Every structure is written in structure tokens, then in C-alpha cells.
Chain A
Amino acid sequence: MHYPFFDVPQIGGGLLIAIVAILHVVVAHFAVGAGLFIAVAHTLALRRNDTLVLRFLRDNSRFLVLLAFIFGAVSGVGIWFTIALVSPRATSILIHNFVWGWAIEWVLFAVEIVAGYCYYYGWDRLAPKRHLTIAWIYAVASYGSLVVINGILAFMLTPGDWAQAVESQRYDAAFWSGFFNPTYFPSLMLRSLSALALAGLFACVVVNLSNRYTREERTRIINYAAYCLAPMALMAPASLWYFNGVPEASRIMAAGGAIAMTLFLAFGVVCSLMIGAYAYFTLIRRKQYVSLSTALLLSAMALVTTGAMEFVREGIRKPYVIRDYLWSNGIADRESEYMPIALGGALSNAPWIVGDTDLATAGRKKRGQMIFQAQCAACHTHAGANGIKHLVAYSLDIIRDDIEHLHERKSFMPPFLGTARDKEDLAAYLHSLNNIAPKPRPGSQRNGVKP
């Protein structure tokens, strides 16, 4: 309401964030997992004088720089750019509560980047011991960045006692109770498993991209990397742990309440189990080989899995951006904020939307359209993704009634805030979009059942 609206036609702002975020999460998790993988593998290789693994780690470090340091860094900034455009108020709230978390994350990220470059350029240059130390610095810094960002991400769904601590003016406590919130540790476990798995999968890809390895050498590296993949099967119990901590409304949504969420969750868990089982039985037990195309297929599965899980995490937060504090449409779930809107009108404090329009004389549909933009457009496009046009194919009475009881009938919707006139205007606008005239079908109730 306080900010201009960033219009993302057809796909909507939420999906735009999801696209950027999922691509980033995959690459960022890879960067974290690869750090642990490289450090452990490098340590063991030096101990065992294993030149093959060292040769591979060198190739892997180049891949790390080209993928994680470029795409990962740019897409990370990309998430930030995107959320600030789509949800400026939520971004502002996160920044003003967790700026020091982000600042610590930035330091860790800087150490990670410098360590990564030193590791990459350190081949043929650094003494083995120092090179290994740098590998460990990279591993710790990159895992540290996950440890920090995980707190802020998990906070949005389960803010814990944060709000109470803010109200009682215990600001340090507010930071930490928001940070170490009820889903912090299960979420960290899920992300760590995903990070390891992605590192293992990308290792299978990297070793297949180079023609400098014999088939036997590739098989050895792949079997080695499978130890990162197998723990992915633990995603299933970790998900249970995670869902134990989420608010009840979110849990209901994931467990059948919102079938899309349930399906995505099931896809994610089943895919994880399949990848984990494949890694254990085929690669670790039977020491089999994975071709480039299979490695890419597995990576694609991991991308879909990560995407599905992230989608569920975002989805079950509805109708909030920050659970119990900020609704998806950027209005705070606080009486001091929503009562003036409910009593004074949905457009009473929306200068960017109202502009020069004289609300007293504006037409009903025009006002309805502006109200739609103020309270609905954050999630609903006109006719694209989650398009409102397809959701309002009802009579005016039903639409009006639905607006009145929005949050009671659909737990993922925020309440409508506005006067009786606002409700009428919005209903009139929505009804005007409704040009879908369903044809009577034989057998339908409307025609009566005919034998």
C-alpha cells in the first residue's frame, strides 16, 4: 500500500521470486555442499596420496568458480532485487530486524569467495598444507553462510517469540528468538542434506564433462561422490521433523488441506528417497558407473526436488509473508494497522494506487479495480498465474459472500479489509471479469438427471 506496485504480467510477482530463488538455492546449496566435499576429499586424498582425487578436485574447483561464484553470486543478489520489487515492505521488515545477521552473512560470503579463489588459483602454487587449510576455510565459511541465512529464511514461517520480544523492547532477544526459531534446526538439516546431495551430483557431472579420465577413474570418483548422495534419503525423516515445528494451519495445508502443496511435498520427499536409494544401492553397494546423461537427469531431479520443497515452504506460509505479522498483500496483522483500513476504506491509505482519482465520483468498477490492486494483486494476476478471472466465475451474490468470509473459508487467504461499499465495488469489479458462461451439460443438476 505504501509502495508502488511492481507489475509482473502473466506469471505474477510470487512466481518470479520463486524462479530466481529456486535457481539460486540449487547453486548456493551446491556451493556449500561442495565446500564440505572438497575439504574432506582433499584431506583424505593427501593422506592417501591419491592423485586421481586431487586431479578431480582441481577440475571441480573450476566448475565451482564458474557456476557458484558467478551464477550463484548474481542470482543471490537477484533474489534480493526481486523481493524488494515484489514485496518491499516485507524486505524492509526483514532487513530492519536482521541486518546484523545479513552483515555477518556478508563477511562469511566474502571469506568464502576469497577462499574459493585462493583454492582455485592455489593449485601448483600453494604448499599442500596451506592449500588444504584454505579448503577448510572455504568449507567452514560457506557452511557458516548457510547457518546464518537459514535462520532468516525459517523465521518467515515460524517467527517464534520474536514479536513478543519486540513488544517488550528486548531487541537482542527478538533477533535471537526470531533466528533460532522452531524450524531452525530441522530446516538446517534439510538444507545440509540437499547441499551434500547437490555437491555429489555435480561431481558426477564434472567428472563426465572432462575427457581426461578413464572409465575406471570416473567410476571411482562417482562411487566416492555417492557418499554425499546417499544421505538424501534422510530427507524424509527430516521433513517430518520440520513439519512437526510448523504452525498447525501450515501443517494442515501440507497434509491435504491444499492439495497442490501436498503433491509438491510428496514429489519432493519421494524424489529424495529415490535419489538416496539409487546412490546407496547402485553406486555405493554395486560400484556402478553413471554416464553424463544419467548424472544430468539426477541433477534435474534434484532441481525439481529442491524447487518443490522450496515451493511448499513458501506456499504453506500463506496468507502471510511473515507468519502472524505481515499478510501477503503487505498489510500487517495488527489491529492498529488493519482497523483504520477496515473502517476508513481499502483505499484510504493507498496514494500510489489512487493517484489523482477522485474517489467520491469514481465509478464502481474503477474503485473495485483499485481495491483489487491494493489487496489482491500481490498474489493474483488478471488472467495469468493464479489469475483472478478464472476464480470468480460466480454470481454477484456468491462473490460478495466469498469476499466477506474469505479468510474463514480459505485458510490461505487474508481477510478482506474495507467498508461495505468497498466490498460492493470489489465484487462488482470481479463480477465484471467473469465472462465465463458454462454450457449446460447433460446430466448436470441444472438440466436434471436424464436416464
Chain B
Amino acid sequence: MMRFAVVIVCVIASSLANTATAAPETVYWDLDLRPTSQTAQEGYYKTTLIRPGDFARLAASQPAATRTPLASTLIPPKDEFGLPAPVWLFELLLPATFFLHVLFMNVTLGTALLAIPLTMLGRARPHVNAALNDLYSAWPIAMSLTITTGIAPLLFVQVLYGHFFFVSSILLGWWWLAILIALLAAFYGIYVAKAAIGQGADATHHAQRPPSVLHWAALAVIALACVFIAAMFTANTTLMLLPDAWKQVHENRQSGWTVHPMFWPRLTHNLIGSLAVTGMFIAVRARVGRSQDHEMRLKVVSFGLLIALIATCVQVADGIWFVVTIFHDVKHAFHQYSPGTILWALAVLTAIALLMTLFRGLDHPERPGSVWIPAGLLAFILVGMSAGRERVRVGMLERHARALYESADVRPQTFTVILFFITLVAGLALIGLMVRWMFTAPRNAATLPP
């Protein structure tokens, strides 16, 4: 029965993919960068409708110096102090720390999206409730670690691309700043939702008591806030890639959010991806958990794998849509064999393997490999996607002459870099030690003297 359901989902997903692939034919940008006789006189480009990929065609058709007179004056100069370490080091640290960030971010966001449907489903299904309780217990820590691990990629993106990122942030302005309010609302909302369930709630207890209005309200606020934050990050990291569109946005002739057709598939890619990771997290948590009986654990594992499978199927369709919207703009970047390109391509192939292992895992949830193999594959996909994402970013920005940092801009602070790595290793070791202590400690041991 379950297999049948999955096949149906896959069919729907692939038909969605076909629709999505067709969609860009009808998607137009409210923006034109093709020089016309009028624009040539004025030195910039007038507003009409153009298709995705026109930036790239434009780039190919004209030498950089004359290509984008507007963009080349609006892009702020690189920082006069250059880079305090080689470019490659930042290009490595940015996706590496971003990968750490998305691990926690996906669980936080996925839980925000799943909390309401799972609360509805869970009232008659104890295993759904058990999964929900696992998510609840991890939620505040996942949120906290999302912020903590998000700081590093935010730092490194400002080192490498600050002169693009600051501009797009200012163009989004108060919307961008509103992330802080959304973040506070979501974070405190999690504690309100947890408090609304009550201390010591277990699956059966939770099932007997219908959620209060406060509980529903908290979940709704968290979900809205998290989707808003995802949308703003998507909007900003998209707008920073499009200096040619900045002028339109600055003059309020174009929304800063949806300036490129990649916005919607990119946003949904983030949202759906979070469901897949959260599904996988449910399965892993149930696999290593000690609190439920064996039968219940297997049901929860299957439930998590099913969420991951459905989300991954839809994600494949969404990914195709996403790639189509950026294909013309970045295909030149993917012609070169860089580590980013190779890792991304491997991640795409791994997605197929992931679907297969999830599919098989549903039949044998009791096998350790049914959880650990797809979890490992999913982690690798996140690595590959993080690396590919950077390649796309560089691919889109390198169209602007001398806009990216080069080795000539490096002013190395060698000793300080070494000090950072020593701190990093020591910090990770300490974190590892503390986490180990927590996981190996028996519950209800006495810390307080009698």
C-alpha cells in the first residue's frame, strides 16, 4: 500500500517537473538589459520584458567594459583592505560552514512546516505523535544552532561578496531587517508552543488533550516567521547576484524579491529540502532513541523515511525547475570542471541513489542501513549542493569585470589564520566532548546533593 502511495507521489512529482520545465517559456522578467537605440543614448537600459538568460547572452555579446555601464558604476569597489587570506580559503570556508548551518536550519524550518499537519494527524496516530514529540524536544536547540552556525557563512559571504551583499541588503531595507523580529517571534514561539503542550507530555498524553488556541497560534506564528525568513534570505542572496537589476529596484520600479525567475523555485527548493532533512531526522532520532518500545520506534522510522521520500521526489521536480531558471545564466560556469561543479553533479546523482535507498528502507525499517545509508547520502547531497551553490554565485558574479577578489587582493594575516584554526580545532573538540558527555549520561542521575 505504502509502495503504491509512493509510486503515485513520484508520478505526480514528475508531471510537476514537466510543467515546471515548460514554465520558463512563459516566465518573463520585468526588466530589460538589451541595449536599444534609446538606452545607448542614455547609457543604461530601459524597462521591457526579457527572458531568462538574457543577462548571459548580453554578457557574451559585448565586452565587459562596455557591456553594463549601469552595473559597473553601481557595484561598489572591492574593499580597499583586500582579503586577509587566500581567496580559496574563504571559498572553502563559506560552503563548509554553510553546510553546517543548513543541517540545523533544515530541521528548524522543516519542523516549523510540519508541526501543524503533524499535530492534526497525530491526534489519532500515536507514532505521528511520537515523531512530533521528538521534533519538539530538538526544536529549540536546532533553532539556536541554526543561528550560531549561520554566523560563520554570513561572515564569510561578507568577506568575499560584501560589496554585492550589502547593496542587496540595503535595497531590501526594512524587509531584510524584519528578519530579526521574525527570528525573535519564531524562537520565543517555540518555547510558547512547548509550554502549551505542558511539561512531561508524552505521546499518549498529548493525544488525549486537544491542542489549545495558544498552541495553534504559536505554531502558525513560527511557520509564518520561518517561511518569511527563508523568503528574505532567498531574495537577498538572489538580488546580490543581479547588479543589473539594482537600479530598477532602487527606484521602486521592480520588487527586490522576485527580480529573477529563480526566486520561486529557489525558495521552494529550500522549503521542500527542509522537509526531506526533517523526515530523515525523525528516522534517525527514532533509530537512536531509547524512550519508545521497539514496535513504535519502527513505525516512527518508517514515518520519517516516508516524509523524506515524498519530499525528495518533489524536490527533484523542483530542482529541475530551479536549474532551468538559472541554466542560461550559469551554464558557462558549469562548463569548467571545478570542485564545486563536480560535487554538485555528484550530489544530483546521489539524489537518485537516495530515492532508491529510501524506497527500500520503507520495506525494512528495522535494518540499521535503512536509516544510516540514506542519512549519509542526504548529508552528501547537502555538501554537494552547498558547493554547487557557490559555483553558481561565482558564475553569475564573474560576468562583471574585476568585481570579484583575486589573488592580487590578498593581504595575508598568516599568524591570525593559524590562531583561528587552532581555536576551531580546540572548540570542535570541546563541543564534541560535551555532547558525548550528554549522550552517554544516564537520565535522572543526581547532580544535586540529596
A410 in contact (CB, < 8 A)? no
Q: Shortest Cβ distance from B17 into chain A, in angstroms?
A: 36
Contacts of B163 in A (CB 8 A): 2, 92
The count of residues in chain A whose C-beta lies closer than 8 Å to any C-beta of chain B is: 76
Interface residue A252 (Cβ < 8 Å from any Cβ of B): no
Closest partner residue, chain B, to A123 (CB atom)? B447
Complex contacts, B84 vs chain A, CB 8 Å = 96-97, 99-100, 171, 175
The verdict on B396 contacting chain A, using a C-beta distance below 8 Å, is no
Residue B124, interface by CB 8 Å: no
B430 close to A (CB within 8 Å): yes
What's the Cα separation between A104 and B435 when bound, in Å?
Answer: 21
Query: Which of B59-67, B280-288, B418-426 binds A?
Result: B418-426
Contact pick for A95, options B74, B147, B155, CB 8 Å: B155
0/1 interface trace, chain A 365-378, chain B, CB 8 Å (1 if under):
00000000000000
Interface residues of A in 420-443 (CB under 8 A from B): none
C-alpha spacing A82/B174, complex, angstroms:
10
- Whether a CB of chain A sits under 8 angstroms from the CB of B151 is yes
Query: How near does chain A come to B159, taking the closest CB pair, in angstroms?
Result: 5
- Cβ–Cβ < 8 Å partners of A91 in chain B: 158, 162, 166
- Stretch touching chain B among A111-119, A195-203, A384-392, A396-404: A111-119
**A50 shortest CB reach to chain B, Å:** 9
The answer to whether B269 has its CB under 8 Å from any CB of chain A is: no
Stretch at the interface among A70-78, A233-241, A338-346: A70-78
Is B176 in contact with A81, judged by CB distance below 8 angstroms? yes
B2 lies within 8 A of chain A by Cβ: no
Min CB distance, B47 to chain A, in Å? 13
Q: Number of contact residues on B: which range applies?
A: 35 or more
Q: Mark B398-438, 1 if CB is under 8 A from A, else 0.
A: 00000000000001111111011001100100110011011
Known: A4-B250, A110-B149. A85 touches B176 (CB 8 A): yes
Query: Within the assembled complex, what's the spacing in Å between the Cα atoms of A141 and B141?
Result: 18
Q: Is the CB of B448 within 8 A of A55?
A: yes
Q: Which of B154, B246, B412, B437 contacts A80 (CB 8 A)?
A: B154
Of the residues B247, B430, B442, contact of A111 by C-beta under 8 Å: B430
Residues of B within 8 A of A352 (CB): 74, 250
> Contact: B419 with A70, CB < 8 Å?
no
B287 to chain A, nearest CB (A): 21
Q: Are A85 and B169 in contact (CB under 8 A)?
A: yes
Shortest Cβ distance from B166 into chain A, in angstroms?
A: 4
Residues from chain A with Cβ under 8 Å of B435 in the complex: 114, 118
Q: List 15 A-B contacts (CB under 8 A).
A: A3-B170, A46-B449, A54-B448, A73-B144, A84-B169, A89-B76, A91-B162, A95-B158, A100-B84, A100-B85, A124-B443, A125-B441, A126-B447, A134-B434, A174-B413
Residues A95 and B144 in contact in the complex (CB < 8 Å), given A85-B176, A126-B438 = no
Residue A73 contacts which of B148, B169, B413, B447 (CB distance < 8 angstroms)? B148
Q: Which of B42, B149, B159, B447 contacts A125 (CB 8 A)?
A: B447
Give every chain A residue within 8 A of B183 (Cβ-Cβ): 74, 77
CB distance from B441 to the nearest CB of A (A): 5
Contact B170–A70 (Cβ < 8 Å): no
Known A114-B435, A352-B74: A172·B413 in contact at CB below 8 Å:
yes
Chain B residue at minimum C-beta to C-beta distance from A121: B438
Docked-complex contact B191 and A102, CB < 8 angstroms: no
Q: Is B320 an interface residue (CB 8 A)?
A: no
Neighbour of B177 across the interface among A82, A92, A101, A123, CB < 8 A: A82
- Contact of A122 with B447 at beta-carbon distance under 8 Å, contacts A106-B155, A172-B416, A175-B84 already known: yes
Does A362 count as interface, using CB distance less than 8 angstroms?
no
Question: A125 and B184: CB pair below 8 A?
Answer: no
Whole-angstrom distance from the CB of B205 to the nearest CB of chain A? 20
| CB–CB A124/B445 < 8 A | yes
A140 to chain B, nearest CB (A): 10
- A169 in contact (CB, < 8 A): yes
Residues B173 and A85 in contact, CB atoms below 8 Å apart? yes
Those of A2-60 within 8 Å (CB) of chain B = 2-7, 46, 49, 51, 54-55, 58
Known: A77-B151, A95-B159. 20 other contacts (CB 8 A): A2-B77, A3-B166, A4-B246, A6-B173, A70-B184, A73-B148, A74-B183, A77-B147, A81-B169, A93-B79, A95-B162, A96-B83, A96-B162, A100-B84, A104-B420, A111-B427, A114-B434, A124-B448, A126-B437, A126-B441
Whether A130 is near chain B, meaning CB under 8 Å from some CB there, is: yes
Shortest Cβ distance from residue A149 to the other chain B in the assembled complex, whole angstroms: 12
Within 8 A of A (CB), among B144-195: 144-145, 147-152, 154-156, 158-159, 162-163, 166-167, 169-171, 173, 176-177, 179-180, 183-184, 187-188, 191
Partner of B423, one of A104, A126, A175, A356: A104
Bound-state Cα–Cα, A401 to B145, Å:
56
**Residues in A neighbouring B145, C-beta threshold 8 A:** 113
Which residues of B lie under 8 Å from residue A176 when comparing CB positions? Answer: 416
B420 touches A66 (CB 8 A): no
- In contact, B76 and A77 (Cβ under 8 angstroms): no
List the B residue with the shortest CB-CB distance to A88: B166
Q: Is A359 close to B, CB under 8 A?
A: no
- Measured CB to CB, the closest approach of chain B to A44, in angstroms, equals 13
Can you name the residue of chain A whose Cβ is closest to the Cβ of B416?
A: A100
A91, B419: Cα distance in complex, Å = 23
B251, B414, B420, B435: residue with the most chain A Cβ atoms closer than 10 Å:
B420
Are A2 and B147 in touch, CB under 8 angstroms?
no
- Return the chain B residue nearest A114 by Cβ: B431
Residue among B85, B154, B162 having the largest count of chain A Cβ atoms under 10 Å: B162
A99 to B81, CA, bound (A): 11
A58 to B449 CA separation, bound complex (whole angstroms): 13
Are A100 and B445 in touch, CB under 8 angstroms? Answer: no
Contact B187 A108 (CB under 8 A): no
**Which residue of chain B is the closest to A99 with respect to CB atoms?**
B159
Contact with A along B362-396 (1 / 0, CB 8 A): 00000000000000000000000000000000000
Cβ B427 vs Cβ A107 within 8 A: yes
A106 and B151 within 8 A (CB): yes
Other-chain residue from A66, A97, A131 in contact with B81 (beta carbon distance below 8 A)? A97
Let me know if A109 is at the binding interface, CB within 8 A. yes
Q: Is the CB of A85 within 8 A of B434?
A: no
Pick from A51, A70, A84: contact of B188, CB under 8 Å: A70
Nearest CB on B from A36, distance (A): 18
A351 near B: Cβ within 8 Å? yes
